[in-house]
Structure formats: structure tokens, C-alpha cells
């Protein structure tokens, strides 16, 4: 903790620095989506939020992104579904979820008590599924935005086709765009040659924001049994191991589109958060880190606040996109 | 080992509220390799565990390690009030077998080190109030069964402790298990595949004999999956109800990652960390 901040101060409210520089503003504005701070949960790593209220301080998150929701409940893939890898993990959960109706009826009302914005992560196997989902959430006051998962590597017929084909993606995004007035976030796959191109297609079709990245397809083998360590053989890699790749993609996307970008991938500590913000992301989602440490979200908010205060910032927005690129002179001395 | 009796939770198998605490290592008790007992001091806020409940533990939590990267699941082996505690701290024990980076990182702890402990987690054993029980442990699976032994003793339920391993070394902490079984009026029945202790062969052969004599009204098991599958078949063949504490790979331990899927006979998928780790033998699709 820097001496300039109050330990335990809640991130979102404007909290006072004691050195006379004034208040440090952690809030960020992503188009119509206002967040009390730039730290969100990543889809699929924090259930539907409420289950973990006893384990963390939900109200300290800028936003809560739900597990991917489909029209009907899904049982997911057979076990084994996860395995640890160096500095990360592979998963092939297969988008197990309770279905949108159970979420709206049983979970959403309980989330209303928290100041964190609720973002629903949606997926389907056909464009009509996404449209129907978007229509269902449109009237729900407790939902701040929708995030379209067009990038899950773990279902044979899932959103992934949309995430790989610019034409299909723009068709999908414009259909969803006309089905809801909520901000639409499109979550990109890293498993393509140029995520930035897909970001452009999504943006041109009406996406309000881009989030990136989903997991990177990977594999692991148990050398004792010689069996793949996941039932599905391949799975999605997440955790610190993927951060440099995520950072590169986020940076490319920021440069390709004129809308806010939400960074995802391997966030572990406050430096990771800052790297993404400096690269131009307006907010970050924390995923796998929550498994090791369910309190990681709130502690990141506190650390971000003290680090920004220590560096003399008065607002988190001042650091967003502040990357200092090499000048031609620097390039002469590699 | 040899902690004294403590109140061991409620009988429906679910315990107190989950806490994520920093525990202090009191000692790492070396048992014949690769086994060890980790003695931890947990703050008073950390709940009392019901038999079969577990924790997610991680050594030196303040540094990010690449391997082990995630926490590891451990049964709460034993628990007792801490002698001389000033703030209600308690003593819990984890019983480990070094097989990889997670179990070895905890074995390498020194007194005074910090270990992050999340728990108590999951739903433990449902306790019978009469009849005789067989507790069937395979190696370090015995870690899930000591609190169960204590709880059965409190309810005056007689039980045999069937302890199987490859060799004598795999019957770690056997003195404690044997004593509790005998005190309940039951037997301690070890087996080793190399014949170095007890029955020469598999522990399921010992169980089969007891079941054939209609000696047991309940079976409880924890160990390698193959053992638990065999126990499930035997119990079903003798119409004997039973429960198993499963050791599915876990990402989080608290229901967030959906990684610990268990396939059930009725086609459903359940979460080992949330609906288990203890399941009815007849309901799991082995
Ligand atoms: C609810 C629950 C309770 C548990 N309680 C306990 C407990 O009390 N004590 C305990 O010790 N463990 C317990 N476990 C098991 C423990 O959490 C896992 O085994 C854990 O993965 C060990 O982590 P590791 O990093 O040491 O080994 P990992 O690297 O995660 O896993 C070991 C892997 O090594 C390989 N391997 C290593 N040696 C061999 C070999 N000789 N033959 C075949 N394969 C081999 C296998 O691939 C195996 O999957 C429990 C698990 C659960 C789910
Ligand atoms: C167990 C698990 C489940 C996930 N489920 C989803 C999901 O349902 N929908 C989705 O869009 N992304 C899902 N993801 C991807 C994450 O939201 C995130 O994009 C990815 O894990 C990278 O971030 P991280 O390194 O911080 O975990 C999942 C990730 C994990 C580890
Ligand atoms: S281990 Fe994460 S849901 Fe069970």
C-alpha cells in the first residue's frame, strides 16, 4: 500500500489521497458502460457471481461477467476437463451452464444489491440463438451489457465459426445489434491469424466494444499413461502463460478499431493490469488468477489505486493508451 | 499424529462457512517417504471440518509459482484445539504423499512458513448411527478417513479399517487408524501387494471376504480410482450401501471453474468440489 491511499478503500468510489493532490478517480467509461473501476471478472471463472459472495468482496469489482449462457442449459464435456500446465491451465469445460432463463429468474435479482455492473456472456450455435438471447436480456434493467462469445474453443459446434469468419461475424453482430439496445461487446478468439481484422468486422457491424482474448488452443499429455490430460484432447490455455500473446493482440486491436477494448488474458498482478491499460485497453478482466486466489479482484483494485497514486496520477483514464513507443533514434540502437 | 478427539462437524456432511486463511506451518512431520503430515495453525475463523471435507492449499502464497500454479486439494486429516492458543487458533493436519509439484511444495515447508488454506470445502460423509462399517483406504486416501473414524466412534458405530498399499511404507499412520478401529470394537485389516504386511494381495479381497460374511452394513472408501471402482462393484453385489471420497482434479475447489466434473449413473454431471467430494457409491458412473 502506498502511504497515499487508505488501505481497504473501495475502488469504485472516489477515494481521497492524503497528500493534497486530490482524489484518485478509478472509474472508467466505455461508451455507455460506466464502471466504478476497470477490474472485471472473466467469463467462466467466477460462475454467476453470487455463489462467491462469501469468498470475496463482490462490490469491489468494476463489473461481473457471467459464465457463458445459452438458451437451454448445457451439461458440458465429460471429465477430465482441466489440467495444470506451467504457469497456466488447460480447460475444456464445454460451456456447461444453467441456461439464460434460470439465470434471469434465480440469479440476476440477487446481483442487484451490488454496485458492480453485470455483463452477461452469451453464446449459441446459430445466429438465431444469439439474437434470441439478446432479446431476452434487453428488457432486464440489471444487465449493463452483453458480451458475445464467438470464440470458445471447447465446443464442436459453438460460437467459434463466427469468431473465425469475418463475414459470419459481421452478420451475427448486426443481427444482435438490432435485437438489443444494451452495449454489445464482442469477445475475440486468439486462434486466428489476425484478430484485429475480426475486430474491425465486428466494429463495422455495430459492436460497441471488443474484448480479447479467449483461451488459446493447447494440449497436454500424461507421460505415465500416455493419455491426453483432457478428455477432448485439446483445450483452452489460460493464465499467466498467455499474457504476452494477449497483450500483443489487445494492442493490435486497439490500433485497429475506434471503440473501447477490454483486455483479457493472464492478469495476475497490478503490473499486468497496467500493461494492458498502457497498451490502450479501457478495462481488464481477471480469470484464472481467481482460482488460486478468490480475493484477487478486490486486491488488484487496491493495488491499482495505490500504484497510480504513487506515480502521481489523478485518474486511471490518464494512463489508458499512454504507451511510449520507440522513437526513430531509439531504433538506431537496438 | 495422534491428535486427541475433537467435535467433528455435523452429521449431514456439510460444515461451517468457507474461509480463505493464511495458516502458519507448525511442523512438517516426516513419515517414511514419500509420505508426510503437515501441521498447521489456522486462525479461529477457520471452520471446523466435517469428516470428508477438504481444503485447497498452496505454499508461499505471496509468490506466483509456475509449477505448482494452482492450489491442491487435501483432505482435512485431523483437527484439534491448539495448545496455548491465545486467539482461539486451531491445529489442523494435512496428510500428503509426494507425487508432483503441489504435494512436494507443501512437504518442503518449514516451521513459520505461510500456507494459504481455503476451506472447509465440499460435502463430507453422511454418518450412519448403527450397523458395522468397513472403511477401505488405498494409500494416502486414508487421509479422508480419520475424521470419519472419530465421528463414528462418537456415535458408537463399530468399524473395521481396511488399509491397502503396495508395500508396508504405503500404510502410513497405520498405528492411529488401527487404534481407533480397535477402540470402536472393530478390526484393523492391512494388506500389501508385496506381502510385507497383512494380507498378501489387494485390499478389495479383504473387503470381499467381510461382505460375503455379511459383516458390514456400510462401506466408506477413499483411494485410487481403480480401488474405489472395485469397492463400488463389491458393495453393489452385496447390496451394501456405501460412500466414496473422490479425488478428481480441481482448478478452484469452490465451484467456480466447473473443472471437477463427475459423471453420474443418471447421466448428470456433478461437481466434485461442490456436490462431493463424497458421493454415494451407487450413483457414480465408474
Ligand atoms: C477432495 C480431494 C482430497 C484430496 N486429499 C488428498 C490428501 O489428503 N493427500 C494427498 O496427498 N492428496 C490428496 N488429494 C490428491 C491431490 O490433490 C492430487 O493428487 C494433486 O494433484 C497432487 O498434486 P501434485 O502437484 O503433487 O501432483 P500432480 O502433478 O498434480 O499430479 C500427479 C500426476 O503425476 C503423475 N504421476 C506421478 N507419479 C506417478 C506414478 N508413480 N504413477 C502414475 N502416475 C504418476 C500422474 O500423471 C498424476 O496425475 C486429494 C484430491 C481431492 C480432489
Ligand atoms: C475454466 C474456464 C472457463 C471459461 N469459460 C468461458 C465462457 O464460458 N465464456 C467465455 O467467453 N470465456 C470463458 N473462458 C475464458 C476466460 O473468460 C478468459 O478469456 C481466459 O481464461 C483468459 O483469461 P485468464 O488468463 O485471466 O484466465 C473460460 C476460461 C476458463 C479458465
Ligand atoms: S474445482 Fe473448480 S468447480 Fe470444482
Greater model confidence, A55 or A289: A289
The answer to whether the CB atoms of B254 and A83 lie below 8 A apart is: no
The predicted pLDDT at position A200 comes to 97
The answer to whether the CB atoms of A45 and B116 lie below 8 A apart is: no
Q: Which residue from B231, B220, B135 is spatially nearest to B184, judged by alpha carbons? A: B135
d(CA B23, CA B237): 44
Determine which of A53, A82, A293 to mutate to test the interface with B (most B C-beta atoms within 10 Å). Answer: A82
Q: Over 50: is that where the pLDDT of A8 sits?
A: no
Q: Which of chain A's residues have a Cβ under 8 Å away from the Cβ of B61?
A: 292-293
The predicted pLDDT at position A330 comes to 60
Determine which of B20, B257, B271 to mutate to test the interface with A (most A C-beta atoms within 10 Å). Answer: B257
Residue B94: domain span: 3-121
% of chain B surpassing 90 pLDDT: 90
Domain boundary among B121, B155, B183: B121
> Is residue B7 situated within a structural domain?
yes
B51 C-beta closer than 6 A to ligand 1: no
Atom number, ligand 3, closest to the C-alpha of residue B260: 4
State the fold for domain A7-331.
TIM Barrel (3.20.20)
Q: Name all residues whose Cβ lies below 6 A of ligand 2.
A: A 42-45, 67-68, 91, 93, 95, 121, 149, 152, 187, 214-215, 238-239, 242, 264-267, 286-289; B 257, 259
Number of domains in chain B: 2
Catalytic residue among A42, A108, A152, A308: A152
pLDDT tens-digit series, residues B235-286: 999 999 999 999 999 999 999 999 999 999 999 999 999 999 999 999 999 9
> Is residue B12 situated within a structural domain?
yes
Is A152 among the residues known to form the active site? Answer: yes
> Is residue B252 situated within a structural domain?
no
Q: Over 70: is that where the pLDDT of B85 sits?
A: yes
Structure letter (DSSP) for residue B178: H
Q: Over 50: is that where the pLDDT of B3 sits?
A: no
Mean pLDDT for all residues in chain B: 93
d(CA B257, CA A24): 34
pLDDT (mean) for A238-255: 98
Domain harbouring B65, CATH code: 2.40.30.10
**Pocket residue to mutate for ligand 3, from B18, B252, B262, most atoms within 8 A of Cβ:** B252
Atom number, ligand 3, closest to the C-alpha of residue B272: 4
ipTM of the complex: 0.90
Domain boundary among B121, B144, B171: B121
The predicted pLDDT at position A56 comes to 86
Cis peptide before B53 (omega within 30 of 0): no
In order, the DSSP letters of A127-188 are HHHHHHHHHHHHT-TT--EEEEE---TT-TTSTHHHHH-HHHHHHHHHHHHHH-SS-EEEEP
pLDDT (mean) for A172-182: 97
d(CA B49, CA B44): 13
Strands (E), B98-169: 114-121, 133-138, 159-165
Q: Which residue has the cell 479399517?
A: B161
- Same-domain status, B173 and B102: no
Greater model confidence, A116 or B13: A116
The predicted pLDDT at position A328 comes to 76
Q: Which of chain B's residues have a Cβ under 8 Å away from the Cβ of A51?
A: 254-256
- Same-domain status, B170 and B110: no
pLDDT (mean) for A251-269: 98
The predicted pLDDT at position B122 comes to 97
Greater model confidence, B3 or B129: B129
> Is residue B283 situated within a structural domain?
no
Q: Residues of B241-256 as b/e, b for ≥16 C-beta within 10 angstroms?
A: bbbbbbbbbbbbbbbb
The predicted pLDDT at position A159 comes to 58
d(CA B202, CA B206): 7
* Among B residues 202-261, those touching chain A with beta carbons less than 8 Å apart: 248-252, 254-261
Task: Map out the domains of chain A as residue ranges.
Answer: 7-331
CB atoms within 10 A of CB B113: 15
pLDDT tens-digit series, residues B215-234: 999 999 999 999 999 999 99
% of chain B surpassing 70 pLDDT: 94
Q: Over 80: is that where the pLDDT of B17 sits?
A: yes
Alpha-carbon dihedral sign for residues B55, B60, B63, B64:
negative
d(CA A247, CA A244): 5
- Same-domain status, B18 and B72: yes
This prediction's pTM: 0.92
- Same-domain status, B79 and B137: no
Q: Which residue has the cell 482524489?
A: A23
Domain harbouring B200, CATH code: 3.40.50.80
Q: How many angstroms is it from B90 CA to the middle of ligand 2? A: 37
Q: How far is CA B89 from CA B24, B41, B73, B80, B202, in A?
A: 10, 6, 22, 10, 41
Ligand 2 atom 23, closest CA:
A265
Q: Over 60: is that where the pLDDT of A18 sits?
A: no
Query: Closest residue of B to A291, CA-based?
Result: B252
Domain boundary among B121, B156, B191: B121
> Is residue B276 situated within a structural domain?
no
- Same-domain status, B110 and B139: no
- Same-domain status, B158 and B239: yes
Amino acid at each position: 500500500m502506498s502511504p497515499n491511499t487508505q488501505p481497504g478503500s473501495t475502488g469504485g468510489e472516489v477515494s481521497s489521497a492524503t497528500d493534497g493532490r486530490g482524489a484518485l478517480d478509478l472509474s472508467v467509461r466505455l461508451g455507455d458502460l460506466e464502471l466504478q473501476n476497470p477490474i472485471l471478472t472473466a467469463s467462466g471463472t467466477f460462475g454467476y457471481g453470487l455463489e462467491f459472495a462469501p469468498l470475496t468482496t463482490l462490490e469491489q469489482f468494476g463489473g461481473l461477467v457471467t459464465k457463458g449462457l445459452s438458451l437451454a442449459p448445457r451439461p458440458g464435456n465429460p471429465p477430465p476437463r482441466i489440467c495444470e500446465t506451467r504457469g497456466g491451465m488447460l480447460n475444456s469445460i464445454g460451456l456447461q451452464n444453467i441456461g439464460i432463463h434460470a439465470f434471469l429468474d434465480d440469479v440476476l435479482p440477487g446481483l442487484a444489491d451490488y454496485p458492480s455492473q453485470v455483463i452477461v456472456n452469451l453464446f449459441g450455435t446459430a445466429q438465431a440463438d444469439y439474437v434470441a438471447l439478446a432479446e431476452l436480456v434487453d428488457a432486464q434493467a440489471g444487465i449493463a451489457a452483453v458480451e458475445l462469445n464467438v470464440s470458445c474453443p471447447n465446443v464442436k459446434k459453438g460460437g467459434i465459426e463466427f469468431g473465425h469468419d469475418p463475414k459470419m461475424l459481421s452478420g451475427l453482430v448486426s443481427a444482435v445489434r438490432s435485437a438489443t439496445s444494451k452495449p454489445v461487446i464482442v469477445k475475440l478468439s486468439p486462434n486466428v491469424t489476425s484478430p484485429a481484422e475480426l475486430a474491425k468486422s465486428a466494429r463495422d457491424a455495430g459492436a460497441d466494444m471488443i474484448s480479447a482474448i479467449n483461451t488459446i488452443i493447447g494440449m497436454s499429455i500424461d507421460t505415465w499413461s500416455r493419455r491426453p490430460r483432457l478428455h477432448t484432447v485439446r483445450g483452452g490455455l489460460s493464465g499467466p502463460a498467455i499474457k504476452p500473446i494477449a497483450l500483443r493482440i489487445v494492442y493490435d486491436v486497439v490500433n485497429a478499431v475506434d471503440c473501447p477494448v477490454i483486455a483479457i488474458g493472464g492478469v495476475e498482478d497490478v503490473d499486468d493490469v497496467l500493461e494492458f491499460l498502457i497498451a490502450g485497453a479501457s478495462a481488464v478482466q481477471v480469470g484464472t488468477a481467481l482460482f488460486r486466489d478468490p480475493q484477487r479482484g478486490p486486491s488488484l483494485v487496491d493495488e491499482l489505486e495505490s500504484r497510480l497514486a504513487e506515480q502521481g496520477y489523478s485518474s486511471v483514464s490518464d494512463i489508458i493508451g499512454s504507451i511510449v513507443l520507440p522513437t526513430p533514434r531509439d531504433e538506431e540502437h537496438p | 499424529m495422534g491428535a486427541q478427539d475433537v467435535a467433528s462437524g455435523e452429521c449431514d456432511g456439510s460444515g461451517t462457512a468457507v474461509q480463505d486463511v493464511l495458516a502458519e506451518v507448525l511442523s512438517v512431520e516426516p513419515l517414511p517417504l514419500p509420505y508426510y503430515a503437515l501441521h498447521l495453525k489456522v486462525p479461529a475463523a477457520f471452520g471446523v471440518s466435517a469428516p470428508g471435507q477438504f481444503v485447497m492449499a498452496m505454499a508461499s502464497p505471496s509468490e506466483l509459482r509456475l509449477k505448482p500454479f494452482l492450489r491442491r486439494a487435501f483432505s482435512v486429516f485431523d483437527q484439534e484445539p491448539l495448545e496455548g492458543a491465545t486467539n482461539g487458533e486451531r491445529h489442523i493436519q494435512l496428510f500428503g504423499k509426494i507425487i508432483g509439484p503441489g504435494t512436494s511444495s507443501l512437504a518442503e515447508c518449514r516451521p513459520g512458513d505461510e500456507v494459504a488454506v481455503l476451506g472447509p470445502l465440499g460435502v463430507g460423509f453422511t454418518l450412519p448411527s448403527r450397523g458395522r462399517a468397513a472403511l477401505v483406504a488405498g494409500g494416502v486416501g486414508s487421509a479422508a478417513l480419520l475424521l470419519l473414524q472419530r465421528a463414528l466412534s462418537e456415535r458408537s458405530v463399530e468399524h473395521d479399517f481396511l488399509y491397502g498399499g503396495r508395500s508396508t511404507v504405503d500404510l502410513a499412520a497405520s498405528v492411529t487408524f488401527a487404534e481407533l478401529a480397535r477402540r470402536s470394537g472393530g478390526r484393523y485389516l492391512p494388506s500389501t501387494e508385496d506381502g510385507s504386511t497383512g494380507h498378501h494381495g489387494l485390499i478389495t479381497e479383504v473387503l470381499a471376504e467381510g461382505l460375503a460374511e455379511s459383516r458390514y452394513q456400510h462401506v466408506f472408501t477413499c483411494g485410487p480410482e481403480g480401488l474405489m471402482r472395485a469397492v463400488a462393484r463389491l458393495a453393489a453385489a452385496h447390496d451394501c450401501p456405501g460412500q466414496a471420497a473422490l479425488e478428481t482434479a480441481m482448478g478452484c475447489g469452490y465451484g467456480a471453474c466447473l473443472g471437477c466434473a463427475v459423471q453420474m449413473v443418471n447421466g448428470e454431471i456433478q461437481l466434485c468440489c461442490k456436490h462431493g467430494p463424497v458421493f454415494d457409491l451407487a450413483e457414480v458412473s465408474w
